[in-house]
Structure formats: structure tokens, C-alpha cells
Structure 1
Amino acid sequence: MKSFGLAQLRQLARDNKGFLFVVFGMIFMRSALADWYVVPSSSMYPHLLEGDRVISNRVAYDIRIPFTDIILKKVGNPQRGDIVTFFSPEDGTRLVKRVIGLPGDTIEMRDRRLIINGEEANYQEVPDVPREYLTPRYEMSQRVFTETLGDLHHNIIVMPDVYQSIQSFAPVQIPEGQYVMLGDNRDNSRDSRYFHFVKRELITGRVSRLMFSLDYENHYMPRFDRFGAKVAQQ
């Protein structure tokens, strides 16, 4: 087999410089500006579905050195209700969850009900939720509630027949520079109830829009109504 020498490689690069420029630009954009992330599980139902490709804004909170996670400048702070991507403090896996607790908050959970700084969240059941927004491949009861705490309100799923999830924890104060993350699908999410606090530097971006979506339960057919759709933070 004929091997490529340095001259051939240079010629190949010259012949394809336009294509290589586009590829490098895409890699640079994903590293420095906006990354995309495949939602692999149902932990953020009913807002993010399995097969969604979300766009994570990497400059929402920090400006980082391209191709690294070194922070050059902080430009904002995560807010309660933000949907964010971050590296799990447990094993480094990239996750997408909702920011629920901020630095300095005292947070607890009693029988799936959140209490933050002494204020208990209100829960109003949502009737007749379409099946595609409920946990797939789970045939037992699922109930959807709107969780409201101050100005924060979003839908969550609870599974009354699931008993192995953490549904209560004692009051704890969140340290400075750290956050509590929860999945909206409360009984089907591995989140801060299991790996505790998430340091700010592990947060890699804010999710506010979908790129596209494929329906894993329907032969990977495109969900055209979710292409470019905005992800409601509340």
C-alpha cells in the first residue's frame, strides 16, 4: 500500500483547506461558544425527551480557554430554574439537570416536596398529559405536577409506585460556589440527592434551545415540532 509522505499531506491539506476550515470552525465553536448534547435518558421529562439534541451555551456563565475548561472570566451566575449541562462530581459524566438550590440556600425535601429557605413549594397536578411527555417504557402510574416556588414554576413527574428513589432529605445549607441540581423526572433521576453539591466550575453551559430531536420509540423518526424549539426554563 502506498504511504503518504509529508508533501502529499501538505497537498491534501491545500486541496481541502475550505473543508478543513469548516471542520476546525465547528470544533472551535463547540469548544468555546455552543456545544450540543444528546439527552440519553428520561431524567428531565416532561421538558427534555430521550433523543433530544440540546444546545448548551458555553458562554452563559463563563468565558473559557478554547479546548479546555479553564475559566478566563465569569460573566454570570446560574439562576434557580436554569437547565444546565455539567460534569457529575461522582464520575465525570456530562449531565443535564435543573438548578434548584443556590449558594447559601437551605434546602430540604419531605415526601418529594421541596422546601427552600423555609418556603415550601406548591404542587398543582396537571391533567391529561400526552403520553409522549411521560417516561417511556414505564407502564405504572405517572403524575405530572407544576412545582411553584416564588417565581420559579415548571412541571415535574412523580412515580407513586417507585420507592427506591430518595424522596426526603434533611435541611442542608449549600456552600458558597456550589449548587443543587435535580431532574424534573424526580423518581427517575440521579442528581444532587445522590452526588450532593455541584461546584460552579463543573457547570459547562445553559440549555435554552433544541437543535433537533429523534423519537427512539418510533424508529428514530424526527420530531419536527422540536427542531430548533426553545426550551422553557419555567
Structure 2
Amino acid sequence: MDTIRFFAGVAAVWLTIITFLFAPFHIPSESMQPSLEVGDRVLVSKWAYGYSRHSLPLGLGYYLPDNLDTRIFPRDPERGDVIVFRTPETRRNLIKRVIGLPGDVIMVQNGRLFINGEMVERAPVGQRTYLDHRGRQPVTVDAYLETLPNGVTHDIYERSDSYPLDNAGPFRVPAGQIFVMGDNRDSSTDSRVAPNPQYPQGGGPGYIDLTEVVGRAETVMFTLNRCRREDGLYCPTGRVWRGLQY
């Protein structure tokens, strides 16, 4: 019985931590490069924006009634925050950066981001070439330092300014929702793509309801992927307890 009590206590502590405090999240795709790389393990703060049924671990929130879609101790994300959220259509966790807040008008025109009619500043950093994690083929992108209207800066990637989602919008963000984008702009399915109820895997998340936000990504704990150090290939280092700046 003592052994059972011990493991029950450990399980209770673990559930409390990942429900109310912090939870790990792994990066499965290239959509948030270069801020987050494939294989990164990210620590997400559950308390940053309050709690909803989607704060429950293991997808348990989907088994609760829809009328429980409320938040306790709510606090809205800020522009530039990197957040984890659940998508009702696919019941998956995704991670993106908050670009638009309720009432904002977001538009992408010829690869340039506009917020409320103002073009967002970006400064060229140079070209980078990395290996696509699926086909292991080299991909060359232009890197930019983007500065959002509230002063948050972060790097973005653009393959070009003429990809399908480089002309999208305008989108007026509804009340109680936010607009998110990936930092790897031409390799991200984000709020620029509406959900497809008939084929959920083929659609995007569209606007994100604030009740679907799980938490804020705080730091990269470590990474399990190791890129190949070859001439001409970008291989980021120092991916252990590297904080995400806001």
C-alpha cells in the first residue's frame, strides 16, 4: 500500500504541475524557425493567461461540455508572445506567435506584414540554408529582423515574397480572438488559413479563441535534433535553457 500511495502522490504532483504551472511541448515542424527549431523541447507556462478546460493535460478538456469554455484568472496575450493553443478541428496543440489582437486589421501584401494599415518594419539579416527535416533537402531563405508595433523584435524567414500566403487578408480580428503567424512565414499554416470543417487536416486554425490558448512558451529547455555541421548550412547552437525574449 505504501508503494501505491507513493506513486499516487507522484502522479498527483505531476498532474498539478502540468495543469497549473508548467508543461513541456516539443516542436514538430519548421513553422517557427528560426526562433524554435525542429526537436526543441519548450517549457510552457500554464498560468500566463489564466486557465480554461484546455489547460487540462492529455486533451481531457475535450471531454468537458462546450459551455465550460470560460477562463479563470484571465489575462490576454500580448503582441509578439509565442503561445501554445489547441485547435478544435484537429484536437492538436500548435505553437505560433501572436500578431493580431482583438479589433486589429491584419494583411500580408507581397510578403510584407501590415497591422492596422502600417507596414511592419523588417531589416535584412542575410541568407541562410538549412536542411528540410522531412525530405532532408536544402532550403535557402532570407532572414529578417522584424519589429512589431509594441517594440518586440524577432527573426523571421521568407523563401520569397511571392508564396501563396504572401498575399492574404485583410483580416479583422474578432473580439475574444487573436491572429497568429509562424516566424517561418512561407512554411507555416496559421491564421491566414481558415479551418476546413470537411477536411480538418487540410485547413488552418484561422482566428484563435482566447479560451483555446494553453500557455506561453518561455524557454527552450533542450533539443533532441542535431543538425549537420556542413559548409554552407545553417546549424544553430546554444539550444539549452535559452529563453524567448518578449
Per the TM superposition, whether the score is higher than 0.5 is: yes
TM-score normalised to the size of structure 1? Answer: 0.81
Counterparts of 1:128 and 1:227, CA distance in 2? 25
Percent of pairs with identical residues: 32
The one-letter code sitting in structure 2 at the alignment partner of 1:94 is N
Structure 1 unaligned segments of length 5 or more: list them: 1-10
User: What amino acid does structure 1 have at the position aligned with 2:92?
Assistant: T
* 1:188 equivalenced with 2:187 (yes/no): yes
Partner of 2:50: 62
Partner of 2:10: 22
SS in 2 for 1:184: coil
User: Aligned with 1:84: secondary structure?
Assistant: strand
Q: Rg larger in 1 or in 2?
A: 1
Partner of 1:178: 177
Residue 142 of structure 1 and its aligned partner are, at CA, apart by 0.8
Deviation at 1:216, TM superposition (A): 4.7
Which residue of the other structure, out of 27, 39, 54, is the alignment partner of 1:51? 39
Letter matched to residue 143 of structure 2: V
Distance (Å, rounded) in 2 between the aligned partners of 1:138 and 1:160: 17
SS in 2 for 1:115: strand
Q: Which runs of 5+ in 2 are unaligned?
A: 62-67, 195-205, 229-235
Kindly indicate whether residue 154 of structure 2 is the aligned counterpart of residue 154 of structure 1: yes
* Count of matched residue pairs: 214
Correspondence for 1:230: 243
- With normalisation by structure 2, the TM-score equals 0.78
Q: Post-superposition shift, 1:42?
A: 0.9
Tell me how large the CA RMSD over aligned residues is. Answer: 2.5
Q: 1:72 to 1:122 in 2, by over 3 A?
A: closer
Q: 1:202 to 1:146 in 2, by over 3 A?
A: same
Cα deviation, residue 21, structure 1: 1.5
Which residue of structure 2 lines up, in the alignment, with residue 214 of structure 1? 224
Contact preservation (8 Å) 2:127, 2:140:
no
| In 1: Cα distance, 2:127 partner to 2:186 partner | 20
* Matched position secondary structure for 2:216: strand
Distance 2:174 2:138 in 1: 39
